[in-house]
Amino acid sequence: MIATARGWATVLALISVTLILISCSGESGPQPGTPAFDFGAAKNTFAAGDYVKTLDNLDRVAATENEFTPKARAWLLVLTSGMTRGYTELADRFENGARMNRTDPGSFRRNMTQYRGEAGRLALHFAQVFGDFQKSKDDTVTLAFPYPTGSANPPMTLTKIAGGMLVPPAEVEMAQRQNIERAVLLAACASVGAPEDVAKTHSVFSTPEVKVPRATFVTAMAAALFDQSQLFSRQKLDDPSKLKIFCTRAQDALKGLPESKESKELGEKIEKSLKVSKT
């Protein structure tokens, strides 16, 4: 009887394991390592405000041609352009602080150098992704990410820093996060043709996937290229060759678009910047 009971127990255990395996194999959902999985992970990290991990997830998706690649590249452009702007602003505030604080300007310059270097790295990332993005010629661009978190108002801490006030590292870190979130939000506004208009942008992002005319999106990205070109001016990273490359790519992007007031004004800015860089 004992042996029989043990035999039945073994059989029941095997049946249970089999049912579990069948259940697991029948579960739907992206598998780790697939573009679908990484794209889903990007949505989770973006919602959590972890933009560095979001970049990593999207880079893995965009590394190959798959059904998520166009959406990942558009998202990467918005994210990298926003983050570049955020770090650029941080660097500028610390540069101002160094001028104002004659007692300890070195502390400000160290942060300025760090943030400006990070902005330059992200700008190069943006330019690379934009080159890949421009290979497609779809009439509309899909923005498959939610309305970004954060406030459109700059952190008050940055005003203190620009005035030469030394603030605790924890406060600097908080201001950094807030300003990056703000810049990404404003990049999203620009990408849908509503620069600085968070109310309109919030309304546009009421749908799961936003469809933007290609001309609108590319004009915003060309403007981002021009803004990033200024990072390489003599007063900042001092790399005239990169300044020219960014301006030229912005010009090229505008050539394939219908002329608008925005594109015309941007074209004039680019021409002026290229002339100044030659002097």
Q: What pLDDT score was predicted for residue 277?
A: 83
188: in domain:
yes
Residue 109 has pLDDT above 70, yes or no: yes
Q: Which domain holds residue 42?
A: 32-213
241: in domain:
no
Report angle CA 104, 108, 112 to the nearest 5 degrees.
Answer: 155
- Determine the average pLDDT of the residues in 99-103: 96
Q: What is the mean pLDDT of the chain?
A: 91
Q: Number of C-alpha atoms within 13 angstroms, CB side, residue 213? A: 7
124: in domain:
yes
In the chain, alpha helices (H): 2-25, 35-47, 51-62, 69-100, 105-133, 156-162, 169-191, 198-204, 214-229, 240-255, 261-278
Distance between the two ends of the chain, CA-based, in angstroms?
100
- Determine the average pLDDT of the residues in 176-204: 97
224: in domain:
no
Q: What is the pLDDT of residues 260-269, one digit of tens each?
A: 999 999 999 9
7: in domain:
no
- Determine the average pLDDT of the residues in 123-137: 96
Distance (Å, rounded) from C-alpha 166 to C-alpha 224? Answer: 31
208: in domain:
yes
Residue 54 has pLDDT above 60, yes or no: yes
Residue 1 has pLDDT above 50, yes or no: no
- By CB atoms closer than 10 A (0-12, 13-18, 19+), residue 214 is middle
Please state, for a pLDDT cut of 70, what percent of the chain lies above it. 90
Q: What is the pLDDT of residues 216-232, one digit of tens each?
A: 999 999 999 999 999 99
Q: What pLDDT score was predicted for residue 24?
A: 45
Q: What pLDDT score was predicted for residue 30?
A: 87
Q: What pLDDT score was predicted for residue 29?
A: 80
Q: What is the pLDDT of residues 5-34, one digit of tens each?
A: 444 444 444 444 344 433 444 456 889 999
69: in domain:
yes
Asked whether the CA dihedral 213, 185, 149, 203 is positive or negative, the reply is negative
Total domain count, the chain:
1
- Categorize the per-residue pLDDT at 256 as very low, low, confident or very high, splitting at 50, 70 and 90: confident
One DSSP character per residue, 176-204 reads: HHHHHHHHHHHHHHHHTT-TT-HHHHHHH
- Determine the average pLDDT of the residues in 200-229: 97
Partners of 143 in beta bridges: 210
Cα separation values, 205 from 40, 51, 224, Å: 18, 19, 21
- Is 228:210 a contact under the CB 8 Å cutoff? no
Give the pair of three-digit tokens for residue 173: 């870190």
Which pTM was predicted?
Answer: 0.88
Distance (Å, rounded) from C-alpha 20 to C-alpha 14? Answer: 10
Q: What pLDDT score was predicted for residue 27?
A: 52
At 103, give phi and psi (nearest 5°).
Answer: -80, -45
Task: Single out the residue of 29, 63, 61, 77 nearest to residue 190, CA to CA.
Answer: 77
5: in domain:
no
